Amino acid sequence: MNAVLQLKARLKTDSRRPYLARGARVVRCEHCALVPDFCLCGEKKALSSRLEFGLLMHRNEPFKPSNTGKLICDLMPKSAAFAWHRTTPDPALLAWLAPDTRIVFPSHYVAKERQAPLPASGPVKLLILDATWPQAAKMLRSSRYLDKLSVTSIDDAVLSNYPLRDQHQDGHLCTAEVAAMLMAQAGETANAHKLSAYLAAFTDHYLAAKRHGLPSGESLAALKAAMAS
């Protein structure tokens, strides 16, 4: 069970009422959140990387079938996931953070003196705020316990290819796209390709089920080829 699914289980245990968003009654794979006939769990493959991702998730995100943070955790077993709280951070998050941990966010939200490029070598922890973009901006502004961390910027002018959610602005990337971009920046082009292929297949299969159709088959073939390379 990946880190997002573990967080989801903890939140369900603590919740006083079920999460009943649109589509909540659809029968889905417990792991990939796709309908069973289109499940991709057999295609995922653990990747080796110098990047270690942490997801600071708005409370609703682990319950959304369209969430792509779980795709990162599927391929990156060392990834961690934490529920966001404005004033009382999860102790596990504070334990995970290191002085040189980087928050990942578009540069125009952050003062220049707080920005720092991705290190050219060596291990690095990267904290992604997993939420809608307005929620993520609020999380960054209001979480005082994150103020001391540097920010590694992403190029939010790159158009998002993720069609499952309204990104509010064309340049806003989904969580898995952000991680793939960071892998590419770190020189891990093969990992970036694998995660991008996994996201593309997930998107294709998710939309096919939503439209009561069939996946194209091309995305699955591309994913198999990527994972085999």
Look at residue 93 and give its three-state secondary structure. helix
Mean pLDDT of 147-168: 66
What is the layout of strands, in order, in the sheet containing 102-104? 80-83, 51-57, 124-130, 102-104, 150-152
Residues 204, 20 contacting (CB under 8 angstroms): no
Query: pLDDT confidence of 109, banded at 50, 70, 90?
Result: confident
| 106-129 b/e (C-beta count within 10 Å ≥ 16 → b) | beeebeeebeeebeeeeebbbbbb
For residue 137, the number of C-alpha atoms closer than 13 Å in the C-beta half-sphere is 9
| pLDDT score of 133 | 84
pLDDT digits (tens, 9 = 90+) for 58-83: 999 999 999 999 999 999 999 999 99
